[in-house]
Structure 1
Amino acid sequence: MRLTLSYTLFAVTAGVLCLAVVYVGMRYVPNYPLTSSNPRYRSDAPSRQEILRSLLTASGYALALLTAVGLVGGWLIAGRVLRPLQDITRAAHRAAGGALEHRIALTGPRDEFTDLSDAFDEMLARLQHSFEAQQRFAANASHELRTPLAITRTMLQVAAADPAGQDWGRLVSRLQDTNQRGIEISEALLQLADLGHAPPDLAPTDLATATGEALAAVRDEARTLGVTLTADLRPAPTTGNPVLLRQAAVNLLHNALRHNLPTGGRVTVATGADPERPGRVRLTVANTGPQLTAEAVATFTEPFLRGRGRTAETDPARRGHGLGLAIVAAVTDAHHGALHLAPEPAGGLRATLDLPGLPGLPGSR
């Protein structure tokens, strides 16, 4: 209604101005009687005053007609213009009620309304993805935390039912391992929660230094698994949190070591300036391993998704919790970087952690 009244007011105002110009112009017409050139004929030509009175009368009817046309036309035009907004409003109400799968998919020429519709659809898609990921995360976290407790309860029930027949040393060792697994899952979940709510303290640091410390922490595990580590650590100055960057590097290395070939596996690690993106630095970890598909790799940063899906490895040395790459992705986001995962043609995974470089880095601006 407001748009209709605005259109009508504009049309009537434009009409009044046009008629006012004509009226003012008519006042400058010479005011002398018009007579016929033949004296036998009497002239009936109107005078200027009569013309002005007729003009005012006709203007009144014209403005009334213009007002009616403006109201009807303005109502139709406003309805046509606002129809896309009504579709967006209905979609917003449906989304508020939980129907995040609905999309507007507004058709027509590219204009402000289609841009708004596409942006709203993109927001709904991101909300739906986040909501579904949150639901999966809650369900998987509950399952992962319940598993060690259920195992502990079972072992204690068996020991209580037959105390004399228990190997107490073996039982205590198994209880310690199960308890340690629950602690590790809880700590990883807390780390994810901290990264999602509080931004880390950032300072100038070198990604190569953090990676070198991570390599030192996993060399014993690499020897145990029989995996060959090859490193090429070049300076990669960036702004970040050294502890978190070291943890991200450790997680990438653990993932590369544990999801490798049974024998003769290799892991290559490299840091330095990113030749493809001037002004940025990167850490690359590539390993040998089974053939992977791009569809499977796209889900690896989802929490509790292991290399074999939701199934844990039977070998304790290669067993993980499915949170390593999720933590790396969270650390990368906290540092305004990007994590790229891609399957290697010969088998295995290539993980690239890309971060902004410090000013003064070759190629930076």
Structure 2
Amino acid sequence: MDRPPGLSVRVKLTLSYAGFLMVAGVLLLAAVWVFLNRVPHVGLLLMPGYQYAVARAFAPIAAVSLACLLVFGLVGGWFLAGRMLAPLTRITGATRLAATGSLAHRIQLPGSNDEFRELADSFDTMLARLEAHVAGQRRFAANASHELRTPLAISKTLLDVARTDPDCDTGEVIERLSAVNTRAIDLIEALLLLSRADQRSFTPEHVDLSLLAEEATETLLPLAEKHGVTVETGGDITPTTGSPALLLQLTTNLVHNAIVHNLPAQGTVRVTTEVRPRAVALTVENTGGRLTPQLVPTLTEPFQRGTERVHTDQAGVGLGLAIVKTITDAHDGTLTLTPRPTGGLRITVELPTPNPRSYERHTAVGRF
């Protein structure tokens, strides 16, 4: 935005200091003048032309005093304004560095806690979050490009083989192409869902997490039987507000993840809902291999999988828990991942509870 040039803040502060000092000087000299002319002085009053002599003597002294005050005010004001605005200069330099794309710089303003220090600390916090966000976006873009390139490269290889090898099994090539294409479609849909959840482009509605847990469990029951996993459900009615579609996707991802990443045989998945103070909780717990505390926090990052998970037939696209985290954040909730001592993982999603009266009105309308 183009704006006409103007005086700097330092010049304005300098002129303000000098002007205030000049006003104070004028008032002081006026007080002295009144004192000399109005207060009776014995002996001086007997001298003829006393007031005229005082005026001639006082005028040059007052002029010199005001000139000295002006110079002193300008010099001192310039120095004081520079000292006062030094933190702002550091903040401006950091802002310019950030504008060029350098987000690793921090102001780290020393001194006591004042307005400038609070501004600098807030700016440092913003830079740290922005740097982490940009790094995550770059990592996400790189991983997404890699994940999308893989099925495309496989499809190209299969097509080249079918084109150059007249004896190849066409049915097998078509089947493999269909599987690769399905994986690519699943990945793109997961990316779109992740983007929509991150933008919070939904209208909040009243939702019961316990009903969503039952629906997700019934949908994935054939998959659980295929893997030899027993699914147990239970808990309280857990009312909350949010997007029913996104929260169902969250629940489905958690249950699917718990079924697929389980013991090879006789695994267990427990899905429970619970009402807590000022929140409702959905917990999905499964048996499985032991997970290290260092690995667990990385599971919610996009395209992050355990080393043993990539080679299964249900490895997914690496966005299941990333979508869960994004949906949880979009609903102002908290996501907690805890490794079980005996193996497996416990995942808990806490969401805020709605206004009780509002929820009662909603359920009463729903009954009618």
The TM-score normalised by the length of structure 2 is 0.86
Classify the secondary structure of the residue corresponding to 2:140.
helix
* Cα pair 2:261 2:309 within 8 Å, conserved: no
Per-residue CA distance 1:193-223 (angstroms, 9 max, x = gap)? 2223451121112111111111111122222
Per-residue CA distance 1:3-43 (angstroms, 9 max, x = gap)? 111111112212222332333333321266449xxxxxxx9
* Cα pair 1:33 1:47 within 8 Å, conserved: no
How many Å apart are 1:312 and its aligned residue?
A: 5.7
Classify the secondary structure of the residue corresponding to 1:163.
coil
Mapping of residues 1-365 of structure 1, within 5 Å: 1-30=11-40, 33-34=43-44, 47=50, 50-51=53-54, 53-166=56-169, 168-197=170-199, 199-274=201-276, 278-308=277-307, 313-316=310-313, 318-360=314-356
Letter matched to residue 359 of structure 1:
N
* Cα pair 2:197 2:246 within 8 Å, conserved: no
- Going from structure 1 to structure 2, the CA distance change for 1:47 and 1:254 (only over 3 Å counts) comes to same
Classify the secondary structure of the residue corresponding to 1:292.
coil
Letter matched to residue 310 of structure 2:
E
Which residue is equivalent to 2:365?
A: none
Query: Matches of 2:162 and 2:264 in 1, distance apart?
Result: 35
Letter matched to residue 22 of structure 2:
V
How many Å apart are 1:183 and its aligned residue?
A: 1.0
How many Å apart are 1:286 and its aligned residue?
A: 2.0
- Going from structure 1 to structure 2, the CA distance change for 1:50 and 1:232 (only over 3 Å counts) comes to farther
Matched residue count = 347
How many Å apart are 1:237 and its aligned residue?
A: 0.7
Query: Matches of 1:187 and 1:319 in 2, distance apart?
Result: 16
Identity %: 47
How many Å apart are 1:97 and its aligned residue?
A: 1.0
- Going from structure 1 to structure 2, the CA distance change for 1:216 and 1:70 (only over 3 Å counts) comes to same
Query: Matches of 2:12 and 2:44 in 1, distance apart?
Result: 50
Letter matched to residue 214 of structure 1:
A
* Cα pair 2:198 2:327 within 8 Å, conserved: no
- Going from structure 1 to structure 2, the CA distance change for 1:241 and 1:26 (only over 3 Å counts) comes to same
How many Å apart are 1:52 and its aligned residue?
A: 5.2
* Cα pair 2:271 2:284 within 8 Å, conserved: yes
Classify the secondary structure of the residue corresponding to 1:201.
coil
How many Å apart are 1:268 and its aligned residue?
A: 1.9
Classify the secondary structure of the residue corresponding to 1:298.
helix
Per-residue CA distance 1:89-112 (angstroms, 9 max, x = gap)? 111111111111111111121111
Query: Matches of 2:321 and 2:56 in 1, distance apart?
Result: 86
Which residue is equivalent to 2:363?
A: none
Query: Matches of 2:87 and 2:193 in 1, distance apart?
Result: 44
Gaps of 5+ in 1: 36-42
Query: Matches of 1:333 and 1:127 in 2, distance apart?
Result: 17
Per-residue CA distance 1:241-260 (angstroms, 9 max, x = gap)? 11111100011112222222
Q: Cα RMSD over matched residues?
A: 2.4
Which residue is equivalent to 1:39?
A: none
How many Å apart are 1:165 and its aligned residue?
A: 4.3
